[in-house]
Structure 1
Amino acid sequence: MPTLPYAHADDSLRALAGQAEGFGRHAIGGLHGRLYHVTSLEDDGCGSLREGCRRKEPLWIVFEVSGTLHLSSFLMVSSYKTVDGRGQKVKVTGNGLQLRACEHVIICNLEFEGGRGDDVDAIQIKPKSRHIWIDRCSLRDYSDGLIDITCESTDITVSRCYFSKHNKTILIGGCSSNVADRCIRATIHHCFFDGTCQRHPRVRFGKVHLYNNYTRNWGIYAVCASVDSQILSQCNIYEAGERKMVFMYLTEKAADREEETCGCIRSEGDLFLNDANPCLLSGDGVDQAFKVHEHHAAWTVEPASDSLREVLQVCTGWQSIPRPQERLPVVGFRCDHNIFDHYLL
């Protein structure tokens, strides 16, 4: 049976930091900060997730409660934060998380469901955010997207997430006029796209590495390459339902170009099931796709196989795992209903 990467990251609480693979591998979250305990599922106030995420200092945020957190507006996550849902079952609904002009953020082991309103995404990453890692989250049924990566945000990894009951799943690069999005680099690996309609992902301009994902029964297409995008699809499993087209190419005109162009997709070791049709373009466009080893040296990739497909159906999304122990406690102090523990690292 294939071994999923960084399983050792659950040995101790902060071992998670720096364990992402791919373009988001440098994300450390709140590694060098205090421990912040979420003791309230209220939208705001002392002990709430919003209170922890707005603080400017690095924090490793953990939950002492399980349940549903209904957000009345986007919850802004500031730099150097880890939002660590291991050990509890927390569902975010009503609105989503927004990572604006921030860096070194880790979001782990949460559920997102039922976001409503105009332009409401489960996780919105823009503008100019970097070193972001989204890991082991379940995402479904939002009014807009589940994850948007736009406006020059880069060095992002999405791993072991479960996507279901949704239309526009992951958007990378928001519009053809924002040519600065050529800086975008993202990795999506070991994710399960279960009957979602489209955008697994849809990409403009950016460089995107997809590997060891399982996408089945999509509604329109699996992966879309639009203006100037470069996508490497490596050892993924594409299992068609009624719609057989795996890869779509949409032409758009970049603001600094005279003619419309699409992107390129290079497929290496992918497994196509149930008459899934990759419809790959040939020629120079494919050769222009980026080489991963020119950006980072190593990643954990398994052959696309039935055993990998079985693993991804049970080991993606929110996981019922205990919160790992923190090490080297030094001192703690209490503020109303919220507890801060200071730890040596």
Structure 2
Amino acid sequence: MGTLPYANVDSSLRAMGGRAEGFGRFAIGGLHGPLYSVTTLSDDGPGSLREGCRRREPLWIIFEISGTIHLSSYLSVSSYKTIDGRGQRIKLTGKGLRLKECEHIIICNLEFEGGRGHDVDGIQIKPNSRHIWIDRCSLRDYDDGLIDITRQSTDITVSRCYFTQHDKTMLIGADPSHIGDRCIQVTIHHCFFDGTRQRQPRLRFGKVHLYNNYTRNWAIYAVCASVEAQIYSQCNIYEAGQKKKTFEYYTEKAADKEESRSGLIRSEGDMFLNGAQASLVTGVDECVFHPSEFYPTWTTEVPSDSLKEVLKICTGWQSVPRPTEQIVV
């Protein structure tokens, strides 16, 4: 068994700041702001989550209560915010979070379930948002995506999340006309995609590094590379159900190109179980980025049954205590 990432991020309340692995590694959230305590499950008003997220100054948002917050509309998150669910059990339902033209966001230890309406995602990241870390969240049953990253949003890490009971799980790059999405860079690691049907993720244009994720029992495909996508799939576990095709390639035409093309997937050290078929395009490895071109280190291990068991337990919302605030004198 290898070393899991983030051994020390719960050592003190703000130890998560700037500690993500991968493309979201610079996300500091509300590291340099005061604490904001959510004291009500109301959708809005004093002490509500919405009130804290709309404030312009940096805030480290914590919860003094557990329960369900019914969102009547998207909850917009402004820059330099940490939404820290450790120590409580908070479920968001009805709608989701919207990260629009913001930066330095950390979202940790929340549940998202039952988002209803056209274009309603659990976490919608667009446009022009960056330096984002989503960690230890459970997401299921939304009418659109669980996490969607589009419109030139980049430098994002999704880690230790649990995805289930859903169709179109993660869309990264929404449309072949949005050629600005060539800038997108996302890291997804130590996540558990448990029976979600497709898009774990589906990528257009950008670069995605997948490592040490466990994806099982998909219904269409596990991972899809559309127009100009580059996916580096490293040491993941792909366990097929009835559908055996792991990787899919959809051909589309970028708005500024004459010819249609699909994307590329490079698989290194992945484990394919229960007849999962890699269906890789040969000779493309040198055409796909390597993460070491962008960040120096990340925590990975050879996929195994023990890693599978750990990911079943350690992904999604966790019953962990809220760390204490370290007072610097």
TM-score (norm 2): 0.99
RMSD over equivalenced CA pairs, Å:
0.8
Any conservation in 1 of the 2:2–2:300 contact (CA below 8 Å)?
no
**Hey, what's the Cα distance between the residues in 1 that align with 2:220 and 2:180?**
28
**Hey, what's the Cα distance between the residues in 2 that align with 1:291 and 1:321?**
34
**Hey, what's the Cα distance between the residues in 2 that align with 1:9 and 1:133?**
13
Runs of 4+ in 1 over 2 A off after TM superposition: none
**Hey, what's the Cα distance between the residues in 1 that align with 2:240 and 2:326?**
46
Correspondences of 1:143-292 after superposition (within 5 Å) = 143-283=143-283, 285-292=284-291
Q: Which amino acid aligns with 1:172?
A: I
Cα distance, 1:327 vs structure 2: 1.6
**Hey, what's the Cα distance between the residues in 1 that align with 2:45 and 2:314?**
34
Q: Which residue of 2 is the match for residue 294 of structure 1? A: 293
Q: Which residue of 1 is the match for residue 318 of structure 2? A: 319
- 2:79 paired with 1:79: yes
Cα distance, 1:153 vs structure 2: 0.2
Q: Which residue of 2 is the match for residue 4 of structure 1? A: 4
Q: Which residue of 1 is the match for residue 101 of structure 2? A: 101
Cα distance, 1:168 vs structure 2: 0.3
Cα distance, 1:182 vs structure 2: 0.3
> Percent of counterpart pairs with the same letter?
71
Any conservation in 2 of the 1:2–1:307 contact (CA below 8 Å)?
no
Cα distance, 1:2 vs structure 2: 3.1
Cα distance, 1:291 vs structure 2: 1.3
Q: Deviations over 1:65-106 (max 9, x none)?
A: 000000000000000000000000000000000000000000
**Hey, what's the Cα distance between the residues in 2 that align with 1:303 and 1:39?**
43
Cα distance, 1:52 vs structure 2: 0.1
**What SS does the corresponding residue of 2:163 show, helix, strand or coil?**
strand
**Hey, what's the Cα distance between the residues in 1 that align with 2:117 and 2:314?**
31
Any conservation in 2 of the 1:126–1:152 contact (CA below 8 Å)?
yes
Gaps of 5+ in 2: none
Q: How many residues align?
A: 329
**Hey, what's the Cα distance between the residues in 1 that align with 2:205 and 2:10?**
35
Q: Which amino acid aligns with 1:203?
A: L
Any conservation in 2 of the 1:103–1:130 contact (CA below 8 Å)?
yes
Any conservation in 2 of the 1:108–1:135 contact (CA below 8 Å)?
yes
**Hey, what's the Cα distance between the residues in 2 that align with 1:144 and 1:55?**
27
**What SS does the corresponding residue of 1:107 show, helix, strand or coil?**
strand
**What SS does the corresponding residue of 2:69 show, helix, strand or coil?**
strand
Any conservation in 1 of the 2:113–2:140 contact (CA below 8 Å)?
yes
**What SS does the corresponding residue of 2:15 show, helix, strand or coil?**
helix
**Hey, what's the Cα distance between the residues in 2 that align with 1:140 and 1:206?**
25
**Hey, what's the Cα distance between the residues in 1 that align with 2:59 and 2:65?**
18
Q: Which amino acid aligns with 2:186?
A: A
Q: Which residue of 1 is the match for residue 139 of structure 2? A: 139
Q: Which residue of 2 is the match for residue 332 of structure 1? A: none
Q: Deviations over 1:143-198 (max 9, x none)?
A: 00000000000000000000000000000001000001000000000000000000
Cα distance, 1:219 vs structure 2: 0.6
- 2:22 paired with 1:16: no
Q: Which residue of 1 is the match for residue 306 of structure 2? A: 307
**Hey, what's the Cα distance between the residues in 1 that align with 2:257 and 2:34?**
48
**Hey, what's the Cα distance between the residues in 1 that align with 2:139 and 2:62?**
19
Q: Deviations over 1:299-318 (max 9, x none)?
A: 00111111100100000000
**Hey, what's the Cα distance between the residues in 2 that align with 1:2 and 1:314?**
16
**What SS does the corresponding residue of 1:293 show, helix, strand or coil?**
helix
**Hey, what's the Cα distance between the residues in 1 that align with 2:7 and 2:47?**
30
Q: Which amino acid aligns with 1:7?
A: A
Q: Deviations over 1:242-279 (max 9, x none)?
A: 00000000000000110100000000000000010010
TM-score (norm 1): 0.94
**Hey, what's the Cα distance between the residues in 2 that align with 1:7 and 1:204?**
33
Gaps of 5+ in 1: 329-343
**What SS does the corresponding residue of 1:13 show, helix, strand or coil?**
coil
